[in-house]
A and B are shown apart, each in its own frame.
Chain A
Amino acid sequence: MSTIPGQVRLSWQDPVTGEQRTPLLTCPIAFGREFARMPAELNNQRVARIVLNSSQVSRYHTLIEWVQGHIRITDQNSSNGTWVNGVLQSSCNVSNGDLLKIGPYEITLMFTLDGTGLPTAEASEQSIIQVPEPDSPVPAEPVAAPANVLPPAFQAHQVVVQDLYATRLSVEEIDYLAVGAGLGSFIWVDFLRIFGAAPQQIRALGIEDRPYARYQRLCLNSQIPPHERLRSNSDSCPDNIWGWPGYALREAWQEFNKGKLNPALQYLWQVFAEPTFAQTYTPRAGNVFASIDREAIRIGWPQIYRFGRVRAIRQTNDGRYAIAYSPGRKQTAFVIARHVHLATGYPVLQFLPDLKAYREQTRDFKSVVNAYEDHNHVYETLERQGGTVVLRGRGIVASRIIQRIHEARHRNPNISILHLMRSPKPKGNRFRKAQRPVDNHFEFQPFNWPKACWGGTLREELEQATPDQRTNLLADWGGTTTADRQDWKVIVQQGLDQGWYQITFGEVTRVVPNTQSRPTTYIQEKGPRGEIKLEADFIIDATGLDSKVKASPLLNDLVTHYNLPLNPAGRLAVANDFELLEMRNQNGRMYGAGAITFGGPYAAVDSFLGLQYTALRAVDGLVTARAPNLRRLNGIGSFWQWLRWAQNQTP
């Protein structure tokens, strides 16, 4: 495709959602925080106006123009300035591949002065793949399907309960229904049980009986075996709603009982001094799963869980909700519930568009992999015959993969990593008086959000903000970060010094097989070097998970059928207590939790502690709505329930 002069391909990663944005625009192009503050026309030319959400971005920040055969950038007296290749600029000409930094946004500019040969790759919204699932007797539906597999009764706005009984299919009536049966569901059910609901009042529908099954699979795929540590806090305990004793205290106690005083004291020191004077404590994956197993038995989860792939959700005409699900191949059954909780998790994996295209063209699913897929063959092959890995993404998963390859190098030293990053990272995000630390182009933060997002000043601020302000705050606090782990820093520094680990910056233009069918990455470097190519045996995409509701057939059907609003991040819009207000049905309440609600009143929705916060707000909401058998838990009653937890007695 040829392009006209003055056309620029912009490319950046959205700091809120992590999505890749690559629009092709014609100059003049304006950037700012408020659409209306940017000019609609300049010199009789229509202006392409790009809204960048962040408090670090001015209302009208920067303009890109085509002036006498050059692309020129002019800062519009912005408060935080326009940076080109790391240098503050008020006005300057730019070259192909230059990096424009506006607040937390890092935008690569690609263009040719005569308008030919511009890279045409455009990230499509479809650049996703399914989250790996276990072998299941009931397959997932394609996105468009539900309508034709559903009974006619489900075409109505509100389902008539008698119509469901008339189908002669199985119908069950229940007070509380959790859709998903993963960690989000489990934590909500844990609160329900402790607040007074009985196991026979609750049903959880999902496709795996252990609530952490999917989470654990993603951990294993991304190279976190049971003895490795999760990126989670000591007192983020999915098995304990109070967060006490935390995992650090429990692990210290275990070690102490084995007669090992040193590690015990080290864990206690970590939780005492983290993150300022000690490395943040994080629990071992295996310990977390074992604790969930114990709590699952205590609250009667085996009695509550049912296998079933949920197909559709409707309101009923008597103030409840009807759920159609498949308990087996070509079977349909219904649950009618007073209150419903949706926690279906991440529907899809984000996959870099150029890598997805490579796989589709070559049908080679072994050389180019996503970090969340099972890709052990990569390490096995590397350990056997050595090789080069191109790593994309610089988050926590990338760090863990570097550690895994470092381990593989003990068996075979002929392994090297080319870490491909879009841009250098000399400085971390700023938010008011604070700045995030950076080392070797990795940005550090103990968890995936600043800590105060869970229960401090930042949580309060986000909840009180308007939807637009929320997007700004999330952009300021967001971005890709990794944990400040001493072992990881040492490995990276060693790798850089010894040369087996290298960092390359640039914008990928295409990934194609070379003559030996190895994936070759072409990248656009800024400056005169132009295009360079990286050959590798494997490419690992460690850029992340995606949770757009449109990617889930179930949620897409719900949103379409009831015309539900989405928040600015494209996820379900929820109230501050996580109720889907538009789904309220007389006394019936529906709540959301987890990744599907990201972009709303709470940042850390997809964390253990975030799920507990969400569940607490939702169950408090149900108490206010006088839901059956629930009473508000506080004071002595709460302490009493904790004593029952401590003695492993049913709530």
Chain B
Amino acid sequence: MTPTLLGRWQTRILLMETVGLVITLLFGGGFLGNPEGSVYFWLLQYIIVFGLGWDYLYIQIQNFRWDQDWPAALQWLAAIWEAIFIVLLVEVLGIELPLIPASDWQLGWFIVHYGFVWVGVFIASQSLMRLMFPRWRFRGGQWL
């Protein structure tokens, strides 16, 4: 992957709001035996909004790389960091994010939900995106 900033943003929003949303709706309906509710939907939106900021940081790091690339391994490290960041906010700093009442937050289910969403998004970005958008890989992840 050799993403541009715009490409990172566009791909993040598209895949999170399609693949990620479908997985989130399954969680919202409690299909995995989890407590149902809107909290998963709002968590997904937080992941996206924080992610737009993280993407800016990643592009800065990318500038230090001679190839200006972003291997899949770094995508995974970044994804793990983004999850840790939310856990830090809620669990360590005790911040109650708007629309995410403390009573609905469960660390275990957050990890499961986040894991499913991220793996789904990653697989789609490695396959389906290329097949549906033949220009995507040449435009640093811009599909629009």
Contacts and interface: CB of A to CB of B under 8 A. Distances in A.
Contact of A633 (B2, B69, B134, B138): B134
A270 to B, nearest CB: 10
Contacts of B64: 433-434
A558 interface: no
Given A437-B66, A455-B2, A455-B140, A275 B71 contact: yes
A35 interface: no
A596 B69 CA distance: 27
Contacts of A307: none
Interface string B122-142: 000011101111110111100
A456 B131 contact: no
Chain B CB within 10 A, most for which of A431, A452, A620, A633: A452
B132 A455 contact: no
Interface residues of B, number: 29
B2 A451 contact: yes
B127 A241 contact: no
Given A634-B133, A638-B133, A455 B138 contact: yes
B73 A273 contact: yes
A244 B73 CA distance: 19
Nearest to B126: A244
17 contacts: A242-B131, A272-B73, A273-B72, A276-B74, A428-B66, A437-B66, A450-B66, A452-B69, A454-B138, A455-B137, A455-B139, A457-B4, A457-B140, A459-B138, A459-B140, A613-B138, A639-B131
Contacts of A242: 130-131, 134
Chain A CB within 10 A, most for which of B3, B72, B130: B130
Given A235-B137, A451-B69, 5 more contacts: A433-B64, A455-B138, A457-B140, A616-B134, A616-B135
A445 B65 CA distance: 11
Interface string B57-88: 00100111111110111100000000000000
A636 B132 contact: yes
Interface in B7-51: none
A424 interface: no
Ranked 9 nearest A-B pairs via Cβ? A456-B2, A452-B68, A451-B67, A455-B138, A452-B2, A273-B73, A451-B69, A434-B66, A244-B130
Nearest to A635: B132
Chain B CB within 10 A, most for which of A275, A454, A456: A456
B47 to A, nearest CB: 22
B105 to A, nearest CB: 32
Overall SS of chain B's interface: loop
Contacts of B138: 454-455, 459, 613, 616
A445 B69 CA distance: 12
Chain A CB within 10 A, most for which of B59, B73, B127: B73
A55 to B, nearest CB: 14
A271 interface: yes
Interface in B100-121: none
A410 interface: no
Nearest to B137: A455
A428 B140 CA distance: 26
Interface in A437-457: 437, 445-446, 450-452, 454-457
Interface of A: 235, 241-244, 271-277, 428, 431-437, 445-446, 450-452, 454-460, 613, 616, 620, 633-636, 638-639, 642
A634 B62 contact: no
A18 B20 CA distance: 48
Nearest to A477: B66
A276 B127 CA distance: 22
A254 B123 CA distance: 21
Contact of A456 (B68, B127, B130): B68
Contact of A639 (B4, B68, B132): B132
Given A445-B67, A454-B2, A460-B4, A244 B131 contact: yes
A241 B72 contact: no
Contacts of A241: 134
Contacts of A437: 66
A277 B130 contact: no
B132 A456 contact: no
Given A243-B137, A274-B71, A435 B132 contact: no
B68 A458 contact: yes
Nearest to A612: B138
Nearest to B70: A456
A436 B64 CA distance: 10
Nearest to B138: A455
Contacts of B140: 452, 455-457, 459-460
Chain A CB within 10 A, most for which of B3, B62, B66, B139: B66
Given A450-B68, A456-B68, A434 B137 contact: no
Contact of A272 (B68, B72, B134): B72
B107 to A, nearest CB: 28
A243 B137 CA distance: 9
A435 B72 contact: no
A271 B69 CA distance: 13
A335 B49 CA distance: 57
Nearest to A277: B73
